[in-house]
Amino acid sequence: MIRLASWIVSSLVIAAIAAWVISLPGTLTLEVAGWRMQPRLGTAVVLLLVSAALIIIVWSVVRRVLGAPRAMARRSAKRRREQGVQALSDAVIALQSGDPARARLMAREAQARLPGSGAAKLLEARADLALGDMPAAREHYRALIDNERTAVAALTGLYDQARAQNREDVAITFAKKTLALAPQTQWASQAVFDDLTARGQWAEAVAMVNTEQAPSREDKAKKRRKQAVIETARARESEVGQPNAALDHALTALKLLPDFVPAALIASRIYINRGEARRAQSLLRRIWRATGHPDVAALYAHSHPGASAVERLKRLREIIDMPPPHRAAGMALARAAIDAYDWPLARTALEPLPAQTQRRASAA
């Protein structure tokens, strides 16, 4: 209703202005090529406005006619782009649906309609990989490495291909190249780290972990765990030949992860071998309270070399309450009681446990 009233008021105002212009007094003399006209001033203004409107209309028609080929080309390009995007979408859907042959076909169609599309080339390479066409996939991926926008994705595909072919050395090479281009790439970082630890290149592994960025609390926890794992592995390697160095590495790991069982076991064994049973027992008690790990209880029971089965059972009772608080405690206590021929205690320790666990402890 308001819109209708506004339109009526606007029409009346325009009509009043036009009537006022037409009724203006005076004349205007025009001489063109020997022609002379003297219309009234209002009529001249109206003729001028009409002439301007005609010129605008004619120019619009001419411009549309002249620009028709360009407009048709734009519409054709837009239609090709829409078809290319649709083909790209169909390729993704087909690849996720387990139809790599259709995915490759759609990816090629997308490339034909979207020249230079890195996404279409990557999809074709993925489809080739899924179809087992390794040479074609390798060629597509290598062609994408030169483009900085697709280099990391191409290296990821080459890494997956090398892993599928059990070419671990080649896969690690691609992972290292990926790290050089994008240091924050998680899969590449993990692959290189695992390779360094598998080869025992601890110095390189430590340097790599130390350079990692850890902006969040979760990232910092992962970084500490990696460092602890490295220190524990170094301790395990040198435990026999260099026990003092192994102890330093194990204690460093425990500073990073206070409840890390593998490092605690190594440190405790070294203490026991050095005749420092009290230190070993103190460390093992703390780790047992924190984790309840059965290996910790077993080592605690054997913390005095040469002790009898009865003495081992007595020592184990120092850290395990009755009834046992959890399955690991019950199993450890039952085994020690069986070794000491304390059958009533073994039965008491096993009572809270399921029948299958009781049979397993008895067999052990």
Q: Average pLDDT by consecutive 10-residue portion of the chain (364 residues)? A: 77 70 64 67 70 85 82 82 83 83 84 79 81 80 78 83 84 86 83 84 81 78 86 89 91 91 92 90 88 85 81 79 74 80 79 54 47
What pLDDT score does 363 carry?
47
Residue 304's Cα: distance from chain center in Å? Answer: 49
Query: Which backbone phi and psi does 260 adopt, to 5 degrees?
Result: -80, 110
Q: What is the DSSP string of 244-313?
A: HHHHHHHHHHHHHSTT-HHHHHHHHHHHHHTT-HHHHHHHHHHHHHHH--HHHHHHHHTSSTT--HHHHH
CA distance 295 to 298: 5
Residue 171 in domain: yes
The answer on 243 and 136 residing in a single domain is: no
Q: Which amino acid is at 139?
A: E
- Mapped onto helix, strand or coil, the DSSP state of residue 170 is helix
CA distance 349 to 358: 9
Residue 106 in domain: yes
Q: Are 249 and 238 in contact (CB under 8 A)?
A: yes
**Containing structural domain, residue 356:** 306-364
What pLDDT score does 254 carry?
92
Residue 150 in domain: yes
The answer on 206 and 113 residing in a single domain is: yes
Query: Which backbone phi and psi does 99 adopt, to 5 degrees?
Result: -120, 75
The answer on 248 and 190 residing in a single domain is: no
The answer on 202 and 94 residing in a single domain is: yes
Q: Give the count of domains, the chain.
A: 3
What pLDDT score does 38 carry?
66
What pLDDT score does 357 carry?
47
What pLDDT score does 30 carry?
64
The answer on 88 and 117 residing in a single domain is: yes
The answer on 264 and 317 residing in a single domain is: no
The answer on 184 and 90 residing in a single domain is: yes
What pLDDT score does 268 carry?
92
The answer on 201 and 255 residing in a single domain is: no
What pLDDT score does 18 carry?
64
Own/partner contacts of 40-48, CB < 8 Å, gap of 24 or more, are 45/21, 46/18, 46/21, 46/22
Helix (H) or strand (E) holding 31: strand 30-32
Angle, alpha carbons 199-202-208 (nearest 5°): 105
Q: Are 181 and 155 in contact (CB under 8 A)?
A: yes
The answer on 316 and 241 residing in a single domain is: no
The answer on 242 and 206 residing in a single domain is: no
What pLDDT score does 251 carry?
92
What pLDDT score does 265 carry?
92
Across the chain, which distance is largest between two alpha carbons, in Å? Answer: 138
CATH number assigned to the domain comprising residue 91? 1.25.40.10
Residue 317 in domain: yes
Residue 12 in domain: no
Using the 3D structure, point to which of 210, 231, 258 is the last residue of a domain.
210
The answer on 127 and 240 residing in a single domain is: no
Residue 244 in domain: yes
What pLDDT score does 20 carry?
66
The answer on 340 and 277 residing in a single domain is: no
